[in-house]
Amino acid sequence: MGMNLQTFRAPTMAECLAEVKRVMGPDAVILHTRTLTLKRFLGLRRREIVEITAGRGLNGGPRGPRARIQGGNQRPMEAGGRNEPQARSGNNGNLATLPPPRESMPPPRPMPDPAYSPDSTALRDLIERMDGMAKNITDLHTIVRSKDAPEVPEELFDEYMHLVDAHVEKGVAEEIVKTLHRTLRPDHLQQRQFVREKIAEQLERLLPVSGPITRTKTSGPHVVALIGPTGVGKTTTIAKLAAKLKLDENRRIGLVTIDTYRIAAVDQLKKYADIIGSPLRVVHTPEELREAVLHMRDCDFVLIDTAGRSPKDTLKLNELRTFLEAASPEEVHLVLSATADRDCVNLAIEKFSNVRVDKLIFTKLDEARHVGAVLGIVRNVRKPLSYVTTGQGVPADIEVARGKRIAQLILGSDL
Ligand code: GDP
């Protein structure tokens, strides 16, 4: 007897049947249906799914097909009353027919329908295989549960998911909701807004920030260098910082760029330097850089832009290190884009940390979909966040990093 057997799963019976019909056609035979209650679906949430095992190519006859899918209206036969497919489809609104929620998957049982007693070898074989499949599912979820399941208080589960969806690391999200659960009164835990504020406070507490670039010297310029991958926004950020320091604090700013490759970037910085009335020097060697800084000794701040060097290119990173040693800046900020994928960011951190990193700047928060990742990166690098940038506008789109603000952005506030 040629037989094609497949198992389908979906959140509701209706969806599951539709899928059976789509894949196996209207002549599919429903052999078994059941509802599984997964205590923690992918280690996260209690969830119910419907499972249908359907076959095609079975012979009909007196003990033949138990249900065929025709037009989607026909109700499949139920396996020993253990399933209520209509109630589960959510279409009849009769919630009273729903069984009480189960906490774990019921043990697999053979089909107990007396009209369908398994007297052929093929059917016995089939039942054994289905039992085997059910056991595999049980095993799988036991593993998932023990390995990944977060120990998250039920009433804060949605808040935990909200943090994870914003790309806050799972361990950090778990820690935050646990702390709230420990410290908040039960009636406060019910107040969504209050809980959100407390979560924001926790996020803020976890995010080290440095405050703005501040001159501490009494003589000579306070030298700041920006390094980072190409295209993250170093030049734009230098222009923003220069304009801010000049306009807000009336400081004398010197600009230096060691961008020896991209003439366009020099032009861009030259344009900004002209607008704010600051000198710009383009240097090609570490010695020229040292001279340029000396030359700008009357400035309050010297800001150094660096060429976009690929983090993969260690030779050029070595070159960059030599430049920085020559300039001996007060601070080196690693500029990272909040839109870059985590692997790129990690690679940049690994490479540029070998040069020198004192603080972090995150650009393009306006384009970032998940600001939560910033928190994880800052914590991993163990360097404080100095500034974030929020658009292409010079000088408007830059802010001194503040924990509270970043926390709100992580939780979904608009810029
Ligand atoms: P560099 O190669 O690191 O010097 O990067 P650039 O300063 O040349 O910037 C690369 C691109 O990113 C330019 O188009 C900038 O306008 C853009 N950019 C810089 N900062 C931001 C920001 O905060 N938000 C957005 N959306 N774009 C930015």
Nearest CA to ligand 1 atom 28: 392
* Residues facing 225 on adjacent strands: 304, 332
Using CA atoms in the order 203, 204, 207, 209, what is the torsion angle rounded to 10 degrees?
A: 160
Give the 3-state secondary structure percentages of the chain, helix then strand then coil, rounded to 5: 45, 20, 40
How far does residue 233's CA lie from ligand 1's centre (Å)? 3
Longest C-alpha distance within the chain, in Å? 101
Burial of 398 (0-12, 13-18, 19+ CB in 10 A): buried
The CA distance from 74 to 322, in Å, is 77
d(CA 284, CA 278): 20
pTM: 0.68
pLDDT at residue number 140: 46
Determine if ligand 1 sits within 6 Å of the CB of residue 360.
no
Range of lowest pLDDT (25-34, 197-206, 324-333, 402-411): 25-34
Give the nearest ligand 1 atom to 398 CA: 23
pLDDT tens-digit map of 146-161:
445 567 888 898 899 9
Q: In this model, does residue 116 exceed pLDDT 70?
A: no
399 CB within 6 A, ligand 1: no
- What pLDDT sits at residue 9? 84
Q: Is the CB of 230 under 6 A from ligand 1?
A: yes
Atom of ligand 1 nearest to the CA of 232: 3
Q: Which residue has the higher pLDDT, 359 or 97?
A: 359
Structure tokens, 276: 């704010």
Give, for ligand 1, the residue of 235, 392, 394, 397 to mutate: max count of ligand atoms closer than 8 Å to Cβ.
392
CB atoms within 10 A of CB 301: 24
Rounded to an integer, what distance in angstroms lies between the CA atom of residue 232 and that of residue 338? Answer: 9
Ligand 1: which atom is nearest the Cα of residue 262? 2
pLDDT at 352: 94
Question: What angle is formed at CA 300 by the lines to CA 296 and CA 302, rounded to 5 degrees?
Answer: 55
- Mean pLDDT, range 178-195, rounded to an integer: 93
Task: Give me the sign of the Cα torsion angle 335, 337, 342, 348.
Answer: negative
pLDDT in tens, 167-177: 999 999 999 99
For ligand 1, whether the C-beta of 309 sits within 6 Å is: no
Q: Report the separation in Å between the CA atom of 97 and the middle of ligand 1, taken as the mean of its atom positions.
A: 59
How crowded is the C-beta side of 10, counted as CA atoms within 13 Å? 18
Ligand 1, atom nearest to 268 Cα:
8
